[in-house]
Amino acid sequence: MNHVLREPAHRVSPQAVPYWRLSAAVGDVVLVVAAVVAYAVIPDVPGWTLVLVLLVAAAAVAHVVLMPRIRFRVHRWEVTDTAVHTRSGWIGRETRIAPISRVQTVDSRQGALMRLFGLASITVTTASAAGPITVDCLDAETAREVVARLTAITAAAPEQDDAT
């Protein structure tokens, strides 16, 4: 009998899709424009570099169109009474689990662009530098509730052993 980790219970906010799309587009547009300008400005470039520029543009379009959808399918999170469990990634997968009894800080973050879409991220840290768990792109209301709940649970925990 083999066991695997089931996926965490909750999806992130659907607003995350346009947010990821916009932030990916901003970066990709800069890259493509730079490539096109370089192609146009530098004199006597060989013909095959045009193919290169077109490839970059195609990759950028694919990135903007596909990445947010896949990411939305992959990203999941769950906070139980004993542990925090997340899954993230779009090409790769990363699953993180940390016991609530070892949680040291709970931060929430909302960038300017995220505010536009009503999103917020939560980061939970433990005593390990390798262990922070980030739940990306919850809707702001849920994020507030989760932070409040996590803070309540960690505050209620008895004299905790954070393994330092």
Partner 1 sequence: MIPAPGDGWSRLSPRKLLLDPVKAIGQAIVPVVVALVGISQSGGRFGWVILPVAVLGPLLFGALPWLTTHYRLTDTQIQVRRGVLNKNTSTAPLDRVRSVDLEASLLHRILGLQKVEIGTGVDDDRITLDALAAADAHALRTTLLRRREAPEATPGTDADEVDGPVPVPVAAPAELARIDWSWLRFAPFSLARLVLLAGAVGVLSQFGDDLPIWNEETARSTWDWVMQFALVAVIAVLAVGGLAVWLVVSVTGYVVQWWRFLLVREHGSLHLTSGLFTTRSITVEEAKVRGVEMTEPLLMRVVGGAELSTLATGVEDGVTQVLPPCPRDVAIGVGETVLEHRGPLTDPLVEHGPLARRRAWLRQIRESLVVIAAGAVATWWFDLSWWWVGLGGLALLLVSAAVGEASYRHLGHALAGDHLVAGSGLVARVRTALETDGIIGWVVSQSWWQRRIGLADLVATTAAGHERVLVRDVRLEVAVELADAATPGLLTEFLAETA
Write each residue from 108 to 127 as x if it is in contact with partner 1 (CB under 8 A), else as -, in one continuous string: ------------------xx
Element (H, E) at 84: strand 83-88
DSSP-derived letter for residue 117 is T
Q: By CB under 8 A, tell whether 80 contacts partner 1.
A: yes
DSSP-derived letter for residue 111 is -
Q: By CB under 8 A, tell whether 49 contacts partner 1.
A: no
In the region spanning residues 125 to 154, those forming contacts with partner 1, defined by CB under 8 A, are: 126-131, 133
Question: Rounded to an integer, what distance in angstroms lies between the CA atom of residue 144 and that of residue 106?
Answer: 11
Q: How far is the CB of 1 from partner 1 (least distance, A)?
A: 6
CA 62, 63, 69, 74 torsion-angle sign: positive
Q: By CB under 8 A, tell whether 158 contacts partner 1.
A: no
Q: By CB under 8 A, tell whether 97 contacts partner 1.
A: yes
